[in-house]
Amino acid sequence: MSSDTINDIEMDHFGCGIDFLASKSVGPCIGFVVLLDHGQHIFVEHRSPNFIPTKVNLNNTRLCLQNVAKHVSDSFPTSSIT
Residue, of 2 and 71, whose pLDDT is higher: 71
Residue, of 47 and 19, whose pLDDT is higher: 47
Band the pLDDT of 71: cuts 50, 70, 90: very high
**pLDDT value at 17 more than 60:** yes
pTM of the model: 0.73
Look at residue 1 in the predicted model and tell me its pLDDT.
Answer: 46
The helix, strand and coil proportions of the chain, stated in percent and rounded to the nearest 5, come to: 30, 30, 40
Report the mean per-residue pLDDT for the chain.
80
pLDDT, one tens digit per residue, over 25-46 is 777 788 888 888 887 888 888 8
Q: Which of 19, 41, 44 lies closest to 29 in space, CA to CA?
A: 44
